[in-house]
A and B are shown apart, each in its own frame.
Chain A
Amino acid sequence: QNRTITGKVLDDSNAPVAGASVTVKGATAGTTTNDRGEFRIQVAPSATALVISSVGFVSREVSITNLGADNNVSVSLAKSVSALDEVVVVGYGTTKKSILTGSVASVRAKDLENVPNGRIEQALQGRASGVTIMQNSGQPGSASTIRVRGITTFNNNNPLWVVDNVVVDAGGIGYLNQSDIESIEVLKDASASIYGTRAAGGVILVTTKKGRSGKLSVSYNGFYGTSAPARMLELLNATQYATLINERSIAGGGGIVYNDISTLGVGTDWQKAIFNNNASRYLHEVSLSGGTDKSTFYVSAGIQKQNGIVSTEISKYEKKNIRLASTHKIGNYVTFGQTIGYTYQKSIGLGNTNSEFGGPLSSAINLDPITPIVVTDPSVAATPLYANNPSAIRDANGNPYGISLAVGQEMTNPVAYIQTRLGGYNWSDDFVGNAYLEVAPVKGLKIRTSVGVKKAYWGNVGFTPVFFLSPTVQQAQNSYNRGENRTFNWNVENTITYNRKFGDHDVTVLAGQGAYVENIGASTGMTYLNLPITSYKDASFNFDLPLANKQGYASDMTQHKVSSLFGRLNYAFQDKYLLTGIIRQDGSTRFGPNKKYSVFPSVSAGWNVDKEKFFPVNKVVSQLKLRGGYGTSGNDASDDFRYLSTVVGGYNYSIGNGGTVTTGYSPLTLDNKDLRWEKTATTDIGLDAQLFNNFNLTVNWFNKKTTGILRPILIPGYVGVSASPWANVADMENKGLEIELGYRKRAGDLNISINGNVTFIKNKVLYVAADTNFIVGGAGFQSMGTITRIKVGESYNSFFGFQRLGVFQTQADIDNYKNKAGTPIQPNARPGDFMWADINGDGVITNDDKDKTFLGSNLPKYTFGFTVNLEYKGFDMTAFFQGAGGNKIFQGLRRLDIANSNFTTKALSRWTGPGTSNDYPRLVSNDPNNNFAWMSDFYLEDGDYLRLKVFQLGYTLPAKLLNKTGISKVRFYVTAENLFTLTKYTGYDPEVGGGVFGVDRGQYPQARAILGGLQLQF
């Protein structure tokens, strides 16, 4: 006869513990406590005890043999100060951190719930050691660049995202809602081998919230606030600008450009014209959870809207989402669970961000401050520039927006530019779901089948009116465009797990099989030209236009498939000696027929030293674990069909006497049937310790080496192909050290928790090709050409250019800068020009590689984050700092090839005579010494920064006040985001993310936001 036991779980301050796991000792089935800490569980007559555990608490075993007639038990859990007791997700299962042998970073819902992030990558920033996150743009809703333990390949470095055991394509993670997240784990080392295929860039495991049995629980979280730019550039005002332009022109032998400088005043502040100090932002999220011991559910819905701080009319983001998760026990052995979510996103972007070729930011930085935003002077508006161009953009009063003739090319009046992009936006509909069936027929055995699907639609709409922004930027006919894409991804995984204890031996075996298909999809689009309208508001595809004005396009996507077999063995002896072995075999469509499959093994071991008898009981070290491992993983996030050669036209000859060209075809390059995975091998040595009872310390040293990086190889001409084939060529390594230190202490009513982490990474290219030790880098800048280089022994894509030795102050300095032969090295230089280092010592400065050298790396040498949490009675405070350092940023905000681009106020400290500057050269129009034209360390600045990312104050109403209301929690909070950033960098924002190699061409800066919010729980 089974009996039902009810109970309540409380913490040491008698507050209910929600979500605590309650199981019968020796069985796996169990339940969890509801928000009041209550549980109800059916136990067999033979059951003798319950095991109660919860994250952050010391697990307890409670005897149930001597319960009263009501079968009720009250359990008090002691708060655990040891992170080692936490349960972590490791892929296809969980394990206690104390017996984990790998290096896994973990972030809990509790750490995130107070942080009003837009996307979940940002939630990870600064919280997990070894994980570097850089925001790509301050544009609301934009993604971040994530690097787990550095740059692993020359190609795609994105980590693999796995949500609730379902592999989700990278980049498509924006659909997730932060408040739905229970935990995030990052597999950083050999432990990632369980996802062998695509794990080289690290694996990020996201576990979402599930329902809890018991009374219906409802929670609400919402905030409203506004954003403003954290920092503006200091640009020259009209008077300063005209003075410098005149000086520059005269020095170059030209005439005076601006005669009446005294009348110019400060002129136009273009930044002010596009920045918004009051960009609104709000979010509302509601979730319901509940269920019985048979079935539980969790349903949530959210809406958020955010306006950007730059050109807000064309910088907005909104997201709406709904999600349902449920689990059901069918009989005694079977569990069924599912989640399904729908997310709608809509964003309007500036276009042309972080580009020196126009767009609002670049234009605002480079435009002359003399041109007015709006031309109000009728005599100016009557000039041919405006009068003869009826499509010049005008404001509501009919006045034309100012057009600069001093600063042309792609630079346009940013306020007018906004008018040309109205009505455009991107949208997406994502349906993501998964379902699983788990059978546990005998003790220790679990058989699980899961299916995951993602159906996504996304597209864009854009209207381009007829416009005249400048003589070079104009549009003669309007167009209306709509592009739509759809994909379907699915995957199936089957696993068997068996766990058994034999005396002191604890063995868990996992075996599994998976099949993954992505990109079953297609794209179509349509552009209508010359619509009989003038405003985007009237744009429609219903207009009946001649066929010639309707341009359609379409493409099919290429499927990406992976087939996998995997297994894992965990062995523990007395929880003291730990061993994990992993093996995974993957086959991928992306590799050559000879190398379709690859095997990724790993092995790791751990030793809980404190469990040894010889380990003395002491007050300093209460827990100590040493661990180490070695494993490999792969990367198949490369383009499809790189192992195949396409046959293309253009190899023509004229055959016949008519003079016509006959098209000839030839393979473009070689097939490479041996094209295979890039392999990344990680060695990891670490320790976890609990010190002085209140401190948790984790230290990891790693060496991550990737071999066979895919790149197009330069091949000898006798091969006979006109393009380079792809091959597994280059090698690169990342060595690093990660330190995490946590402190938790309760002193009376004061609860203190401080967690910090720091990661040091050194990246080094080991090999690039048989015939050369360098290849040109990925970043170019205007007419400088490539400004980075990938060279053996250097960090990936290091800056490469000329080195300054200072500014020549006098002609004597120039004459004295001599080579061995005694002749001046820079005979044509003038005082005020840069003294360039003669790197190769040949006595002359030449504009080629010989006098260029490595000037620094865009990769941070270290990244760090730390969080301080304080709780005192109902008050709480969170301060979260984060930063990076040791990297260089190329400050490329000025357009060099546009002679009259505006300068930052740094130019006021230019060289104007002996002793005036040894850093900023003279201004001269033709720049004969190439002071500005050459890539040099003049453009490089330190990227070090420390940012107070989040500062939050909250107050929770005392429980007794709420007793009769049915509300269990009310919390108010105020959050400040990006309150301050300490940096010497002179651009908008030192956080320059994305695939830009640290080149800031006008990055959309992150906003400073002040938000007020409310949390409710029923």
Chain B
Amino acid sequence: MILTIKKAIKQRISNSVDHWLSKRMPCQEQHQLTRNNVFILPSRFGLVFLMFIVLLFLLGTNYQNNLILLMSYLFISVFITTMLYSFFNLRGIKVAAKGEYLGFVEQTINIPVTLLSEQPRVNINLFFYPSDSCLQSQFAQQITVNVPVKFDKRGVYQLPRLTLESYFMFGLFRCWTHLAFDVQVYVGPKPLACSLNSIANQPANDSEVGNESNAIASDNFYELNNYRVGEPLSQVAWKQLAKTGHWYSKSYQSTNSEQVILSLSAMPSSQIEHKLAQLCFMILEYQKAAIDYGIEIDQRVTPPDHSHHHYLNCLKQVASYGG
């Protein structure tokens, strides 16, 4: 009972904080840290240190000992100076992130975040809020950091707020900011292995997936193209590479003129989430094998292809299914 109330209150508070944050620091492609979006409060150590200063003051006053008093004044001054230093350590940094990212449930997705600064900075922690791993970084001019993020559920997400925090100097202050970026993250289901044959045996809508493991071998060589980064190495024309030093990739024309269309409804599992996971697995497999494939989700057919763009598009569809 109390726990649920606690949870509800927490939820409420975090909601209102989110709301306040989104008003104060809306989504942007690039943020510059200023006094308007940097927060600073004494850390736990800072509070203990303050208490210690009060203790010293009492000690000095009671003993009428000016040196102890002087020490407490020195510490409070250092405390204040440190506050300025910790703020200056974050102020003026430009933080940028953009684009769309794709990943799978429970998989660490690295979001490249670019930090720009004219002065050297120290001890900056970067993390996305719910994640418990964080990156520590110090840099001089520019740095791109891959900040990990993880999701437990399939879906299309707005990137959570990036927390940039620093306890720099003596750990007396936590200086931080929560930045929102206009970044979409497509999180596909965790691929669920399933047998290709089991699908092949099923009467798919308008596709017949047969004996795909031999697909490449049995296909006829069609033409040589300029090799593009991302194409499987199995397609590299090694002979030509050795001769000319140029990278070519071999294209095949399937003798099997039937097109592979992976249909969601044709997936063996009965649960829709598992079906999506299986479809995801299939897409990955086909992409790996560099065979043209199309997908069909709720009668929406995406024509076959095996370009990277196509691959991303398919996965996006899986990720955003039902959302």
A complexed with B: no
